[in-house]
Structure 1
């Protein structure tokens, strides 16, 4: 229970009749309930939130029109944002989010929300000594949890990060909104591995992720079955008794200094570095695998500005040129080293093992001349293991079931790792002190979002969730999409949805990173992805739609359109073509979408003349039928046209009825 309330508690004075009756009924029935001042209002207030007009900021979008249509960064208040994204209701596979912790440093509350949830102001900072800080936090979270529930598919899962300040309160709210029976697990992950000296009793080294399903009987933990095409990539050239395997990357994106060092090849004597990444296994393990190639390895400083290298004992070391960039050119070779007696003996031993023995886990492709790689076994994949996994124990003899699990930092990363990852992308000075590590977010996405699923983060922060989706798509050839909602701290004009969230995701896609002087340089290959950057603006109703400029209405149509029969694939790709008068977009089936204009900013009607123009534009752009047409009136009909009346159909797509009532005030909806 949120707090114990008895008949002598002064808080009873603030409760209304319905709240008091609920408490008494639970007391009589021996049940447990969550009670706090303003709870009933918090449970109902989200129904009064109205959708808003969204505008695309083209300067902040990334990628082609097709790439932009897949992902969204939405700048604005998240409750209003989720209501506005009505077409995604019941379309989200995973909600993964990290709301502001109630520590007196990050959480803000707007008192106006108690009566008007449409107020966009973030409110004031709730201090640590505020006597109602827990109540304010719960009043802010409760309506947003209800909206998150609505956004999820029937098979969907929600994972919320939290610390011990509100762990119990959040758990009680999740039990009420999602149902205790739908709790999948409580993850305990290690955020730090060294105790802090600022605690009088116990130093907090863990945080939590509460994982609930919308319907636990329908939700799945794990991956979708793999096909024969994927399995065909696995071979067994060395007759490994563990079975079929394929080579995998021996590095990870998480840059930790102790894991960035040189490895000397037993075949060529060349030095191999992890590039702009880091070796993915502990140094002790890497040394054991290298020695399985028949040579003794030692740790030795080779004065390359990195930690001690793993080199062959008594072997010569290639000279590293002073101007050598070891991130972009991670291999240092030398003819003299290659032909030295020590390396010749090492090569003979390694070749003998390659030809006659099972190869070690760390091996060198291309007959020993390639970069170090790791074996990944198909049998583990068949057990549901992801090829690029971060679990500590890779062997599961029974089907995976999650109850209350503890993940150490080697599996999930720790909080400092998250800050380091953000520093590496946007540089220092971002002022974020709590950033979740990519390992943690990627692991959750791997478990509870299918490879073509949609991930929503209503508290996007610095954009770690979007970053994790993009990285996983690259690593596992997945096609997951994301929606990130972030308003940022609007004080002093700092809406970091633009300055930080958008910039981080943009650099993940472009591969740009700041160098030591803060100048952006190309450090990684670009990613085949993109996103659309949208901004919440004014509230919407029929009169708002009818007075919109052309560009505004095009944005609204692109944002709001969906079709009942194929909502999951109803994203529209905007088409900007000066030669087209009415064409504004197309869907994944190459069907055209048109808005009829009578003049620059007045909606027209569908008649024989405008229909003829539509046919001409569709043929010129090689679009398929049927043609989707938005107009004020329809005085001409055709079997090749799907007609959408303005503003009625647009309002319906935003969840508003003809009288512009909020979609979720309808009685008996659920």
Structure 2
């Protein structure tokens, strides 16, 4: 059923009407849909869940496992459970269901209880409320995604034209229109299918910052073709260079004047090339990048002094070779002895290049159309080593060397820049074999490019719709190629209604094969290295659940939930699996030990003088120095060597629950 505005409006209270009016007055445009009130609040009703580690599905060394996560479960519940990462994610890259009538499911009971375990039914393309259902499913997830981001974090979300406009309006509402960084139009195919009207060859990536003033957009890597434009014909000690334009657009009278070439005696103006005695009547450009005094000094590097002189052209005073008889009409440079001497000096300097102690000129004169050296327009040397070693992302990813970043705005990426859908399928086939059932897969190049631009080299990437694991694979490749240390968290539920929890089959297999180099048919490829920890979301958690857990269950919860303010986004704790230790259960990245006091065959124990002695002995055996992080029910003994964590209080707090087991979900809608 489509949204009935009048019916829904009559249900609103005075306070809700005032809030709606205020939103429309301040935002200008608001997206209205049936059930919006509950959709805006639904995320606060989601309960965190117990996370069970699945050691048989871990990949890599213990240290590598602790850096990355593959979580099997519903993504809204998973993001709520990942409370320790709230406000810690650098980049979210995700590819939600496109609502094409094939994959998107919706359970009507989620409107009131998002913890309902049923997946719902496929929303067909004929369903009159399919857009409303999709929006209601996406709204709370976008809110949680925003909460997961750092203040400088960025969301890049893939979409096609089915829900492009609805998603854009939701993102404007959740993130704010001012925080929109880009609408990327990437070429998904180079051979579009036939269509009645216009064939679709592109999809989109909407990119939003949590706060655009804090977000950073990195340059793309320069390629060999770009660097080949830089040469070093004069053996400049600063290295390769290329000529750069000395003129800029717009009229500025004080910087519009003629300069006389030391190679030809001709006059040059900021406008495009023209005869020296025919200046453009309406100036459109001006000299840029240096003062007139600096311009004169650099011209004199060609061996002849310059003076400022009014030549009657209606412009500013020209920079003229000292003593030259130059004039606008009837002037012959070949008859001017000053020009002839200047030409010889300039040609000598040009032919000698870098020799002796002489400083090479920084203003150069290009060849003319007949390839006469120095006979063309003036330009400034742009040295490769002084130019940003990256290229600015922009329309079609042009490769000009800009010195300052520009706004990306609406951009189009050719398939050779971002890959295309068939490439993504080929990549998946190559690493796990055919028969996986996926029809659309994002290419690695597209995801790697987004990660390169908006995630720092030691940053954390989250993908709540992991699918086949392209995001994790892309991060592993980036780390292998450039030596970065990016981490990832992937969330995938799979299709349990079809008996296919492909988080533990396809997604897991792809990441495993990428890390180890394993390929179908016994083939091998270069391993990318790295690793990940596999976790499964189980039952909801509260104080009673924590206190009735078995030892292994409680160890899992401690290791996966623990965080401290000064190292909140640190990798997970590394589990210690040695039967000789009674209390030692984990280590952090600094080698500090974590101990769980557990009575033999009984419930969680207390920290007493006796249990502390055992902790100290186990620490000594494992070569662990204080402080010792101790989880226990009560603290009966205190020591300066111990950082005590009370069970269940610490665990509940780490999951965003307060002492009354109420979910502490801050309002992230502002």
Q: What's the offset of the Cα at 1:138?
A: 0.3
Change (3 A) 1:41 1:17: farther
Change (3 A) 1:570 1:491: closer
Change (3 A) 1:241 1:570: same
Tell me the TM-score normalized by structure 2.
0.73
Change (3 A) 1:561 1:29: closer
- The question of whether the paired residues in 2 share the 8 Å contact of 1:548 and 1:601 is answered with no
- Of 436, 452, 455, the residue aligned with 2:458 is 452
Give the match for residue 222 of structure 1: 218
- The question of whether the paired residues in 1 share the 8 Å contact of 2:49 and 2:539 is answered with yes
Is 1:211 the counterpart of 2:212? The answer is: no
Change (3 A) 1:21 1:669: closer
- Of 62, 74, 78, the residue aligned with 1:77 is 74
- The question of whether the paired residues in 2 share the 8 Å contact of 1:441 and 1:465 is answered with yes
Task: Tell me the distance in 2 between the aligned counterparts of 1:30 and 1:181.
Answer: 11
Change (3 A) 1:184 1:661: same
Q: What's the offset of the Cα at 1:73?
A: 0.2
Change (3 A) 1:22 1:200: farther
Deviation string 1:466-512 (CA, Å, 9 cap, x unpaired) is 01000000111000000000001111311111111111011000111
- The question of whether the paired residues in 2 share the 8 Å contact of 1:14 and 1:37 is answered with no
Give the match for residue 399 of structure 1: 404
Q: Once superposed, what is the RMSD of the aligned Cα atoms?
A: 3.0
- The question of whether the paired residues in 1 share the 8 Å contact of 2:220 and 2:453 is answered with no
- Of 144, 151, 155, the residue aligned with 1:154 is 151
Deviation string 1:430-464 (CA, Å, 9 cap, x unpaired) is 11111101111000000000000000000000100
Change (3 A) 1:480 1:15: same
Is 1:163 the counterpart of 2:164? The answer is: no
Is 1:173 the counterpart of 2:170? The answer is: yes
Task: Tell me the distance in 2 between the aligned counterparts of 1:489 and 1:601.
Answer: 39
Give unmatched runs, 5+ long, in structure 1.
227-235, 246-376
Is 1:485 the counterpart of 2:491? The answer is: yes
- The question of whether the paired residues in 1 share the 8 Å contact of 2:104 and 2:123 is answered with yes
1:505 aligned counterpart, secondary structure: helix
Is 1:62 the counterpart of 2:59? The answer is: yes
Task: Tell me the distance in 1 between the aligned counterparts of 2:66 and 2:240.
Answer: 38
Change (3 A) 1:668 1:58: closer
- The question of whether the paired residues in 2 share the 8 Å contact of 1:89 and 1:151 is answered with yes
Task: Tell me the distance in 2 between the aligned counterparts of 1:445 and 1:203.
Answer: 29
Task: Tell me the distance in 2 between the aligned counterparts of 1:223 and 1:589.
Answer: 33
Give the match for residue 315 of structure 2: none
Q: What's the offset of the Cα at 1:158?
A: 0.4
Give the match for residue 122 of structure 2: 125
Give the match for residue 591 of structure 2: 590
Deviation string 1:305-347 (CA, Å, 9 cap, x unpaired) is xxxxxxxxxxxxxxxxxxxxxxxxxxxxxxxxxxxxxxxxxxx
- The question of whether the paired residues in 2 share the 8 Å contact of 1:108 and 1:124 is answered with yes
2:537 aligned counterpart, secondary structure: strand
Q: What's the offset of the Cα at 1:137?
A: 0.2
- The question of whether the paired residues in 2 share the 8 Å contact of 1:62 and 1:531 is answered with yes
Change (3 A) 1:413 1:602: same
Give the match for residue 618 of structure 2: 617
Deviation string 1:142-178 (CA, Å, 9 cap, x unpaired) is 0000000110000100000000110110011001111
2:77 aligned counterpart, secondary structure: helix
- The question of whether the paired residues in 1 share the 8 Å contact of 2:595 and 2:631 is answered with yes
- The question of whether the paired residues in 2 share the 8 Å contact of 1:72 and 1:484 is answered with yes
1:395 aligned counterpart, secondary structure: coil
Task: Tell me the distance in 1 between the aligned counterparts of 2:27 and 2:507.
Answer: 47
1:188 aligned counterpart, secondary structure: strand
2:617 aligned counterpart, secondary structure: helix
Q: What's the offset of the Cα at 1:571?
A: 2.6
Change (3 A) 1:107 1:667: closer
Change (3 A) 1:26 1:77: closer
- The question of whether the paired residues in 2 share the 8 Å contact of 1:186 and 1:405 is answered with yes
Task: Tell me the distance in 2 between the aligned counterparts of 1:440 and 1:225.
Answer: 14
Give the match for residue 522 of structure 2: 520
- The question of whether the paired residues in 1 share the 8 Å contact of 2:220 and 2:390 is answered with no
Aligned positions of 1:40-119 closer than 5 A = 40-119=37-116
Deviation string 1:218-237 (CA, Å, 9 cap, x unpaired) is 110006999xxxxxxxxx9x
- The question of whether the paired residues in 1 share the 8 Å contact of 2:463 and 2:491 is answered with yes
Task: Tell me the distance in 2 between the aligned counterparts of 1:470 and 1:142.
Answer: 30
Give the match for residue 418 of structure 2: 412
2:601 aligned counterpart, secondary structure: coil
Tell me the TM-score normalized by structure 1.
0.73
Give the match for residue 550 of structure 1: 551
Give the match for residue 470 of structure 2: 464
Is 1:383 the counterpart of 2:383? The answer is: no
1:625 aligned counterpart, secondary structure: coil
Task: Tell me the distance in 1 between the aligned counterparts of 2:508 and 2:235.
Answer: 48
Change (3 A) 1:387 1:581: farther
Give the match for residue 427 of structure 1: 433
- The question of whether the paired residues in 2 share the 8 Å contact of 1:582 and 1:614 is answered with yes
Give the match for residue 533 of structure 2: 532
Change (3 A) 1:208 1:215: same
1:535 aligned counterpart, secondary structure: strand
1:633 aligned counterpart, secondary structure: coil
Aligned positions of 1:165-564 closer than 5 A = 165-197=162-194, 199-222=195-218, 243=239, 379=384, 383-385=388-390, 392-401=397-406, 402-514=408-520, 519-522=521-524, 524-564=525-565
- Which region of structure 1 is more displaced relative to structure 2, 485-494 or 633-642? 485-494
Q: What's the offset of the Cα at 1:32?
A: 1.5
Aligned positions of 1:564-575 closer than 5 A = 564-569=565-570, 571-575=572-576
Task: Tell me the distance in 1 between the aligned counterparts of 2:148 and 2:487.
Answer: 15
Task: Tell me the distance in 1 between the aligned counterparts of 2:502 and 2:529.
Answer: 24
Q: What's the offset of the Cα at 1:556?
A: 0.4
- The question of whether the paired residues in 2 share the 8 Å contact of 1:62 and 1:68 is answered with yes
Task: Tell me the distance in 2 between the aligned counterparts of 1:414 and 1:27.
Answer: 39
Task: Tell me the distance in 2 between the aligned counterparts of 1:92 and 1:635.
Answer: 38
Aligned positions of 1:32-47 closer than 5 A = 32-47=29-44
Give unmatched runs, 5+ long, in structure 2.
223-231, 242-381
Give the match for residue 626 of structure 1: 627
